[in-house]
Amino acid sequence: MTRTKKSPSGAISIEDVAQRAGVSITTVSRVINKIGTVKEKNRVKVLEVVKELKFQPSIFAQRLATGKSNVVALIIPRYEGVFYSFYALELIRATGNLCEVFKLDLLLHLTDSHTRASLNLRGMGGLMFSDIIGTRYQVEEAINSGIPTVVINNYVKDLPVSCIAIDNAGGAENAVNYLVSLGHKKIAHISGDVATQAAALRLEGYIQALKKNNIPVKEEYILKTDYSRGQARSAAEALFKLPDTPTAVFVASDSMALEVMTLSREMGKNIPSDLSIVGFDDNPSGLYGPVALTTVRQPLIKMAEEGVKELKRLMDLKKGAQPKKIILATELVIRESCRTL
């Protein structure tokens, strides 16, 4: 038990293993990196010692030596509305799970999207931006740095970067079409923060669907919010005050839709007989409550997972590959909050 060397980390090193196994550190390195050119007997011996000593190679030394890192940074803009709930947690959880599977280290980076600050990219093996509200500059920097980068929840047309987005416009269209198919013509829309691509596209989808169905688009039926429940409530109040009250409303998020339901109930209105509601998200909260919410399911988990997979692909590649641009389909989940007119 004579540990002569006083390493700063104090931990077991590859040298300890080599010594104990009676081989060179090179051989140990080969074994832990699964390089086949090691005699079976040695391999077994090394593995034994590794287990015995509970040796875990220093990731820092590995990365210094290889110049590669398997740290994946998930960059989430610290915005009030969108990233304040179901969405963010779902994303983080899914990303975390898959990173675990791929043996990637997940670094969480909450960024103030207002400042045009540079990210410290050094040491990152891959970057995943969850949306790029106000972080476009950082995405550009990332691309230039050559670090594998993926953007999720935003379809980035004009930048050579992989992105995984959701068919927000399509989902919105489906929602509105469904309402139309039920006989509704007076359909309002409570939109999210149109600074986000998702909200903007949902609004666009709503308008498209109306047009395709030859229903005039009325300005007063479109209420813009910041995705918060508070503003959803105000929007719904405004809707109810309209001379020509809508019979249905498509709301850009479930949590806002829930708020609209609550307000309606407070005002003595019945859902769905007095007002049909479709949300967006498929937030489980929509399942509870007196009336289960009809909604557009967006594959958040799938999106995050595809993002990690694409990042992994990029990271494993030698040279930069063609970026992939993926749009994930949504699915209308019909429950109880809409009625046939």
Partner DNA sequence: CTGAAAGCGCTAACAA
Partner DNA sequence: TTGTTAGCGCTTTCAG
* Residues listed for the chain: 341
Q: Which two tokens stand for residue 56?
A: 């875990």
The whole-angstrom separation of Cα 199 and Cα 325 is 19
- Among residues 67 and 216, whose Cβ is nearest to a second copy? 67
The whole-angstrom separation of Cα 180 and Cα 167 is 20
- Binding partner of residue 33 among DNA, a second copy, none, CB cut-off 5 to 8 Å per kind: DNA
- Binding partner of residue 53 among DNA, a second copy, none, CB cut-off 5 to 8 Å per kind: none
H-type helices in the chain, by residue range? 14-21, 25-32, 40-53, 59-66, 86-102, 136-145, 168-181, 197-212, 229-241, 254-266, 300-316
SS3 state at 7: coil
Site residues (CB under 8 A) for a second copy? 7-11, 54, 56-61, 63-69, 74, 78, 85, 88-89, 92-93, 96-97, 100, 105-110, 118, 120-123, 146, 229-230, 233, 259, 262, 265-266, 284-285, 288-290
- Binding partner of residue 107 among DNA, a second copy, none, CB cut-off 5 to 8 Å per kind: a second copy
| 317 is a contact residue toward DNA (CB under 7 A) | no
Nearest to 70 by CA among 123, 143, 33: 123
The whole-angstrom separation of Cα 54 and Cα 62 is 17
Closest separation in Å from C-beta 30 to DNA: 6
Closest separation in Å from C-beta 144 to a second copy: 11
- Provide the greatest CA pair distance for the chain: 88
Crossing angle of helices 14-21 and 40-53, in 10° steps, is: 130
- Binding partner of residue 80 among a second copy, DNA, none, CB cut-off 5 to 8 Å per kind: none
The whole-angstrom separation of Cα 168 and Cα 35 is 46
**Interface mask toward DNA for 45-74; x: CB under 7 A:** ----------x-xx--xx-xxxx-------
Q: Checking DSSP bridges between strand 149-152 and strand 126-130, what pairing results, if any?
A: parallel
- Binding partner of residue 233 among DNA, a second copy, none, CB cut-off 5 to 8 Å per kind: a second copy
- Binding partner of residue 146 among DNA, a second copy, none, CB cut-off 5 to 8 Å per kind: a second copy
- Among residues 27 and 255, whose Cβ is nearest to DNA? 27
1, 3, 5, 34: which one binds DNA (CB under 7 A): 5
**CA-angle at 326, arms to 325 and 327, nearest 5°:** 130
| 168 is a contact residue toward DNA (CB under 7 A) | no
Side chain identity at 208, as an amino acid letter? Answer: Q
- Among residues 220 and 316, whose Cβ is nearest to a second copy? 316
- Binding partner of residue 265 among a second copy, DNA, none, CB cut-off 5 to 8 Å per kind: a second copy
Closest separation in Å from C-beta 63 to a second copy: 4
Are 28 and 42 contacting, i.e. CB atoms less than 8 angstroms apart? Answer: no
Q: Which two tokens stand for residue 142?
A: 């990332």
- Binding partner of residue 85 among a second copy, DNA, none, CB cut-off 5 to 8 Å per kind: a second copy
H-type helices in 182-241, by residue range? 197-212, 229-241
The interface with DNA within residues 6-45 (CB under 7 A) comprises 6-11, 13-15, 23-27, 29-30, 32-33, 36-39, 41-42
Chain residues in the site for DNA (CB under 7 A): 5-11, 13-15, 23-27, 29-30, 32-33, 36-39, 41-42, 55, 57-58, 61-62, 64-67
